[in-house]
Amino acid sequence: MRTTRRLALGLVFACLAAVQFVSPAAAARGTFTFYDADGGAGIIDPDDNTCYPLGSTVRRVENKTDRQATLYPSADCRGKFAMVVPARASRDTKRGVAVVFQRPRR
């Protein structure tokens, strides 16, 4: 009986420890809006470190999130970035066709 209780208690503590160390997926809070000649579209609460294709006709972006937005000239977000748009900032762009959101480095 004592061994069963120890095993059960050990299992409970192991599960609690495992749950405590798993962090939830991080996401920006806010809206990222991108505009072209036909109007605009937005991404609400985007996930961190995920590539979001925007299209090749984007002319302006508004980053109203709490993360910096890194714009890339390629749709797969590979290679050298085109520009970084800080949190709560707007920029004109002719080269940004995809975006990745990241926490600002301190």
Mean pLDDT computed over 73-97: 96
* Residue 23 pLDDT exceeds 70: no
Condensed to tens digits (0 to 9), the pLDDT of residues 38-63 reads 999 999 999 999 999 999 999 999 99
- The model's pTM: 0.74
Mean pLDDT computed over 19-37: 76
Q: Which CATH superfamily is domain 30-102 in?
A: Crystallins (2.60.20.10)
Name the residue among 71, 74, 78 with its Cα closest to residue 99. Answer: 71
Output the DSSP codes for 3-65. HHHHHHHHHHHHHHHHHHHPPPPPB--EEEEEEETTEEEEEESPBBT--EE--TT--EEEEEE
**Domain coordinates of the chain in residue numbers?**
30-102
Share of the chain above pLDDT 90, in %: 72
DSSP letter for 48, please. Answer: B
* Residue 15 pLDDT exceeds 60: no
